[in-house]
């Protein structure tokens, strides 16, 4: 913990920046290096761009193109039936991106049975993709193409024969509904899907500073943050200030009115700021700055041991709050940080 892990993280960030050709690659390198070097999790990673260069999933992609009509119909049916917040696709839209020379990813429209057209909105360059009968010539363009969220799910699952797919729990679950539907209709392999819904509760340096300031300003004890007394004590302090303003107004003392009004505004602003800090979803880098790799893994394991498990729309959903151990504020016990988050969320500033 401390300096040593921070140094290793900075080193990983710089090395990934130097190795990567673009931001997506940098992100991928950082993720993989964190798994290997900080968490000692042995996973093999690959880049989608390498896969396209090597034309690994050419056959699966061709089957999708040969069934484009069924693909797009099933796509739109899934959106309508599941009421998904995703735009419908046009009938002639190919579910792959084409990468323009300028680096922008552009959509491909089929203009006749086996010819695609891609027009770059950024540099205006146009590409005519002659796939030929039954998309025999797809390999000529494949290294410049990339799957979209839906075709990627299907092609990866079928091409690799995955038995378990770990999905994200937000937008990717919505796209998962669509890809599952199309996979069923096209006879593609469907893996068991698993998603983890969670929220991080910890006290980083920023949270710690915020709690420290709040305690000082409103004379709060550590217990106030853990029990229901936080909101009442702060409201009590605010109404005392309000009473000072009323008294000064009655006495016609403009200077005093100004002083206490300023105090009231400052207090309310400070509370809003603190509420925002605790409502923000933190960057994973902040967790790594405040906790060791071992402590993070330990918190994940504890959460998984007590998580709620549900099964919805073919997806096994695991839900659980993650409570991380805190090194700061030694007078606040760390077994349930979510209580502190909840009590701060409940403060009303009026
Ligand atoms: Zn372009």
Tens of pLDDT along the chain (350 residues) come to 445 899 999 999 999 999 998 898 999 999 999 999 999 999 999 988 888 889 899 999 999 999 999 999 999 999 999 999 999 999 999 999 999 999 899 999 999 999 999 999 999 999 999 999 999 999 999 999 999 999 999 999 999 998 999 988 888 888 999 999 999 999 999 999 999 988 899 988 899 899 999 999 999 988 888 888 999 999 999 999 999 999 999 999 999 999 999 999 999 999 999 999 999 988 899 999 989 999 999 999 999 999 999 998 788 999 999 999 876 665 666 667 888 999 999 998 76
Q: Is 198 a member of any domain?
A: no
Distance CA 144, CA 131 (A): 13
Pair 81, 136 in one domain: yes
Pair 300, 231 in one domain: yes
Predicted pLDDT at 328: 61
Q: How far, in Å, is the centroid of ligand 1 from the Cα of 103?
A: 6
Q: Look at residue 316 and give its three-state secondary structure.
A: strand
Pair 62, 184 in one domain: yes
Q: How far, in Å, is the centroid of ligand 1 from the Cα of 101?
A: 6
Distance CA 316, CA 328 (A): 36
Tally of domains within the chain: 3
Query: Which of 195, 197, 199 has the alpha carbon at shortest distance from 281?
Result: 199
Locate 1 and state its tokens.
Answer: 């913990």
Q: How far, in Å, is the centroid of ligand 1 from the Cα of 29?
A: 26
Q: How far, in Å, is the centroid of ligand 1 from the Cα of 99?
A: 8
Q: Is 196 a member of any domain?
A: no
Distance CA 139, CA 131 (A): 9
Q: How far, in Å, is the centroid of ligand 1 from the Cα of 105?
A: 8
Instruction: Provide the residue count of the chain.
Output: 350
* Local structure of residue 188 (DSSP, 8 states): -
Contact 174, 181 (CB under 8 A): no
Domain with 163, as residue range(s), is 50-190
Predicted pLDDT at 248: 95
3-state DSSP percent of the chain in helix, strand and coil, to 5: 55, 15, 30
Q: Is 157 a member of any domain?
A: yes
Residues 6+ apart with CB under 8 A from 207: 277, 278, 328
Q: How far, in Å, is the centroid of ligand 1 from the Cα of 129?
A: 15
Predicted pLDDT at 188: 96
Q: How far, in Å, is the centroid of ligand 1 from the Cα of 121?
A: 7
H-run or E-run covering 255: helix 254-279
Residue 321 burial (CB < 10 Å; 0-12/13-18/19+)? middle
Distance CA 310, CA 259 (A): 55
Pair 184, 246 in one domain: no
- Beta strand spans in the chain (E): 93-99, 105-112, 115-119, 126-130, 145-147, 164-167, 192-201, 308-312, 315-323
Distance CA 179, CA 174 (A): 9
Distance CA 162, CA 156 (A): 8
Distance CA 73, CA 184 (A): 13
Pair 213, 311 in one domain: yes
Contact 90, 80 (CB under 8 A): no
Predicted pLDDT at 282: 86
Pair 157, 278 in one domain: no
Predicted pLDDT at 99: 93
Pair 329, 257 in one domain: yes
Q: How far, in Å, is the centroid of ligand 1 from the Cα of 15?
A: 29
Give the end of a domain, one of 190, 217, 239: 190
Distance CA 298, CA 317 (A): 21
Pair 128, 241 in one domain: no
Q: How far, in Å, is the centroid of ligand 1 from the Cα of 92?
A: 21
């Amino acid at each position: 913990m401390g300096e040593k892990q921070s140094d290793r993280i900075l080193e990983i960030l710089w090395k990934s920046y130097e190795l990567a050709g673009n931001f997506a690659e940098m992100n991928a390198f950082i993720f993989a290096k964190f798994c290997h070097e900080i968490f000692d999790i042995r996973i093999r990673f690959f880049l989608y761009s390498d896969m396209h260069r090597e034309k690994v999933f050419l056959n699966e992609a061709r089957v999708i193109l040969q069934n484009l009509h069924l693909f797009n119909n099933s796509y739109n049916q899934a959106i309508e039936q599941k009421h998904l917040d995703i735009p419908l696709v046009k009938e002639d839209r190919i579910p792959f991106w084409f990468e323009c020379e300028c680096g922008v990813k552009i959509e491909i429209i089929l203009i006749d049975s086996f010819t695609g057209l891609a027009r770059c909105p950024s540099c205006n360059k146009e590409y005519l993709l002659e796939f030929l009968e039954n998309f025999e010539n797809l390999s000529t363009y494949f290294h410049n193409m990339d799957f979209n969220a839906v075709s990627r799910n299907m092609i990866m699952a079928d091409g690799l024969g995955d038995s378990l797919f770990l999905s994200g729990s937000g937008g990717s679950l919505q796209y998962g509904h669509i890809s599952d539907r199309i996979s069923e209709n096209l006879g593609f392999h469907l893996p068991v899907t698993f998603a983890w819904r969670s929220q991080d509760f910890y006290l980083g340096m920023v949270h710690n500073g915020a709690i420290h300031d709040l305690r000082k300003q409103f004379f709060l004890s550590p217990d106030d943050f853990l029990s229901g007394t936080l909101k009442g004590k702060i409201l009590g302090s605010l109404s005392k200030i309000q009473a000072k303003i009323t008294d000064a107004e009655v006495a016609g003392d403009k200077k005093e009115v100004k002083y206490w009004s300023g105090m009231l505004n400052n207090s309310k602003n400070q509370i809003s700021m603190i509420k925002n800090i605790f409502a923000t979803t933190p960057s994973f880098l902040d967790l790594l700055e405040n906790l060791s790799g071992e402590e993070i893994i330990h918190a994940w394991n504890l959460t998984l041991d007590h998580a709620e498990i549900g099964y919805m729309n073919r997806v096994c959903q695991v839900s659980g709050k993650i409570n991380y151990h805190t090194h700061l504020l030694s007078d606040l016990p760390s077994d349930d940080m979510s209580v502190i988050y909840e009590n701060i969320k409940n403060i009303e500033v009026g």
